Structure 1
Amino acid sequence: MLDLQRMPNRIRGRWGALLMLVAAFGCFAAMPAMAQQKLLDDPVIYEQTHFRKECSTATFEQDFVNRIDINNDGLVDAVVNEGAIVCDGDRGPGCTEEGCPYNFYLQVAEGGYFMIATAQMYGYDFVKRFGNMVFELKMHARYCDRTDAAPCLMTVRVRGTTFLTISKK
């Protein structure tokens, strides 16, 4: 760390100005990360538009979107299953041996949606446990720190905008 008090005045002024400039730049560089995420009118239209640009021919199967209240706030949210997309004849363009991408969108009272999470998984069930709705995510075993072939079953609940892991099996 620089000790500006021990430097001559002419050097201290230059270093002080430089340090102030660096500090100011650091504040401005962090601003985009703190900026509010843009709300989407409809996540389904947003996702479909994206894949129609990526694919010559894109079709969306019935289980492409599931509209449910994932955080128990009374607003209907959306879960988009990218495995239910057929892009140029290939089903699930983002799918791998670890599953397919699922995107989780929350609806806000002011209107619109924003994405809170994306996960690579085999599928999920949305069930009631002890009076609360929770996700049972079926994922690759590595997400439960295992190397066997059996899928990981991760139970999570959404509170506000946060996924809270309850258990992993």
Structure 2
Amino acid sequence: MKYLLLATLQIALLFAAPASSFGQQQLISDPEIYEKEHFKKRCGTVEYGPKFIDRIDINNDGIIDAVANEGDLSCDGTRGPDCTADGCPHNFYLQVKEGGYFMIATAQLYGYDFLKRFGNMVFVLKMHPRFCERTDSEPCQMTVRVRGTKFLTISKK
């Protein structure tokens, strides 16, 4: 009886798993609207700076993607309300051919540069030194490129 109950539970979870993973991959129409709606609900007064949304092709597929920088907004007079000593949250969104976007990553960063190296666009992420296994005060500079939906680390210094 115990094994039958366990088997039934496992089958139920197996059928529920695809539905739950589909829920995590819901496309949003526009990351800027999505992010702004989030902060409108959270804050009484919100002000967005010019670098709040950066529209660039982050994975070199010819389709313009988006990066949201939560450090370039004020929420009830507080600049970057979720910023810490590790930096400010940055959300990375990919646009799909069929229309819509989905978030592929979020990271606490001081900032980033988006540069062309060896014919490909790459990020130089400026982060807390501990992300480069260091204890000094100089920011970690991690060079990464996005292939498909994955960040691939090229170098750290």
- When the two structures are superposed, what TM-score results if normalisation uses the length of structure 1? 0.88
1:111 paired to 2:75 = no
RMSD: 1.3
Q: Percentage identity across aligned positions?
A: 63
- When the two structures are superposed, what TM-score results if normalisation uses the length of structure 2? 0.95
The residue that corresponds to 1:30 in the other structure is: 17
The equivalent position to 1:155 in structure 2, one of 105, 130, 143, is 143
Give the CA deviation at 1:111.
Answer: 0.3
Give the CA deviation at 1:30.
Answer: 2.7
SS in 2 for 1:133: strand
Deviating above 4 A after TM superposition, structure 1's stretches of 4 or more consecutive aligned residues are: none
Give the CA deviation at 1:103.
Answer: 0.4
The equivalent position to 2:90 in structure 1, one of 87, 102, 109, is 102
Aligned length: 156
Alignment partners' CA distance in 2, 1:151 and 1:130: 24
Alignment partners' CA distance in 1, 2:134 and 2:12: 44
**Equivalent residue letter for 1:89:** G
Alignment partners' CA distance in 1, 2:12 and 2:135: 45
- Write the mapping of 1:4-153 to structure 2, written as runs, cut at 5 A: 14-35=1-22, 37-153=25-141
Give the CA deviation at 1:28.
Answer: 3.6
Give the CA deviation at 1:145.
Answer: 1.0
Give the CA deviation at 1:161.
Answer: 0.4
Alignment partners' CA distance in 1, 2:75 and 2:18: 37
SS in 1 for 2:51: helix
Unaligned runs of 5+ in 1: 1-13
SS in 1 for 2:66: strand
Give the CA deviation at 1:15.
Answer: 3.9
Once the two structures are superposed, what CA deviation does each residue of 1:124-143 show, in whole Å capped at 9, x if it has no partner? 00001111100000000011
